[in-house]
Amino acid sequence: MITVYYPGLQPVKTIPEDMARLAGRVFQASDRVPGAAGEAFDIGEWLARFREQQGIDPQAPLPTHLKIEAADTFEAIIPWEQLTDASVQFAIDGAPLLKNGPIRLYVPNGSSECLNVKSVVGCRFLQDEEKRGEASFGFKQTFSADEMRIKR
């Protein structure tokens, strides 16, 4: 299960197969990332259809960043400009990802290989003009009481 957070909306829980269906176009992950196995979809194409599905005005500004949250508490904040050609691997030979799943994000135009995140469980689309262009990554250092009760 992946939770999608978008400004102004309640969190949306989804599964990889539904994300791929919504994106519309599926391709081989190796088309964008040499050596990557399995099937993937374009994160930008998915977001366009997600926004449409949620009734967001197509003229509304795109997010400035995408914050990816992994099951092991690794997080990456990626400027939208670096997500050109970013893809989400969701299956291998049609089967869900057993390792590195439920989805894996590949960012071929990112400023660091650490922006390629496995075991993604959360996608937060952010609007933060002050940090435009800045990428960051690492393991989460602080947790709320509710987060400590949740078993990922």
Q: What's phi and psi for 129, nearest 5 deg? A: -60, -30
In 3-state terms the chain splits into helix, strand, coil percentages (rounded to 5) of 25, 35, 40
Task: Say whether pLDDT at 141 is over 70.
Answer: no
Bridge-based pairing of strands 39-42 and 87-92 is antiparallel
The rounded distance, in Å, linking the Cα atoms of 26 and 5 is 23
pLDDT digits (tens, 9 = 90+) for 19-61: 999 999 999 999 999 999 999 999 999 999 999 999 999 999 9
pLDDT digits (tens, 9 = 90+) for 126-136: 998 776 677 88
pLDDT digits (tens, 9 = 90+) for 86-133: 999 999 999 999 888 999 999 998 998 989 999 999 999 999 877 667
Q: Give me the pLDDT at residue 149, please.
A: 65
- Contact between 151 and 108 (Cβ < 8 Å): no
Q: Within a 10 A sphere around the Cβ of 131, how many other Cβ atoms?
A: 13
Long-range contacts of the stretch 98-101 (C-beta < 8 A, 24+): 101/16
